Amino acid sequence: MPVQKFRSIEEMNKAPLPESRGSNFERFLRHCARWWAIAPKYYPRGVFKFRTIEEAQKAREKHLPLK
Amino acid sequence: MLATTGYASRMDRDEVMRVLRAFESAGLEYVLIGAAAMGFHGLVRATEDLDLFIRATPENIDKLRSALRAAYEGDPTIDEISSADLLGEYPAIRYVPPTGDLYFDVMTRLGEVASFETIDAEIKDVDGAKIRVATPAALYQLKKGTVRSQDHVDAAALRERFNLKDEG
């Protein structure tokens, strides 16, 4: 079923997703690879320490997109 | 191929598997959480990191260092991962390897809410590698109470997909 047709967005959103290749984990890895290709970021290398998860999440938000 | 610019380029399947196999070979006691764990359960979204809880003992932190040394041979920064930190004032560390293709958030505890011992997990097999992954219910419990908006989205997706109910 390569092409599906819908009368509305609601109908489209309710449609089951097509079967995809490989396991869930393989899909996850492929999805991440695409994400990285589209929106690469710069990360300073090494070990960083945090007192709380919130502190770690704030540090993550500082990462810069690759120009 | 290693990034020569110092910039991240892609999440490499071989690199992920090399690290997960190194965890297994070292006997690291860990549980995978976060987006990678959600991916195992069929809820696929992109991420730049692998999040894991590890059992909080000096021996296990030694195993973490051994595994990372095996996966990223010659990276001296791995020596900065210490029991004193992870069992003390810094229960979360981020390790960004020289490749920069992905990084690791390693936790020993999440406030009083969670630790390796409190997270239900199941074993998944990928190409013969055994990977310990948090269950959907455990992921939901971890994510539903945080302040991070992405966690709220994840929690809603887990609740819907697995028909999860709040306890109490």
pLDDT tens digit sequence for B5-24:
343 444 578 899 999 999 99
At residue B103 the predicted structure's pLDDT band, cuts being 50, 70 and 90, is very high
Pairing state between β B103-107 and B49-54: parallel
d(CA A15, CA A22) in angstroms, rounded, equals 21
Contacts of B101 in chain A (CB under 8 A): 36
Short-list B61, B56, B52, CA closest to B131: B52
Share above pLDDT 70 across residues of chain B, in percent, rounded to a whole number: 92
Q: Does A34 touch chain B (CB under 8 A)?
A: yes
ipTM reported for the complex, 2 dp: 0.82
Q: Does A50 touch chain B (CB under 8 A)?
A: yes
At residue B120 the predicted structure's pLDDT band, cuts being 50, 70 and 90, is very high
Residues B52-65 have a mean pLDDT of: 97
What is the nearest CA distance from A23 to chain B, expressed in angstroms? 8
Question: Who has greater pLDDT, B11 or A7?
Answer: A7
Contacts of A55 in chain B (CB under 8 A): 92
Q: How is chain A split among helix, strand and coil, in percent rounded to 5?
A: 45, 15, 40
**For the ranges A11-20, B110-119, B152-161, which has the lowest average pLDDT?**
A11-20
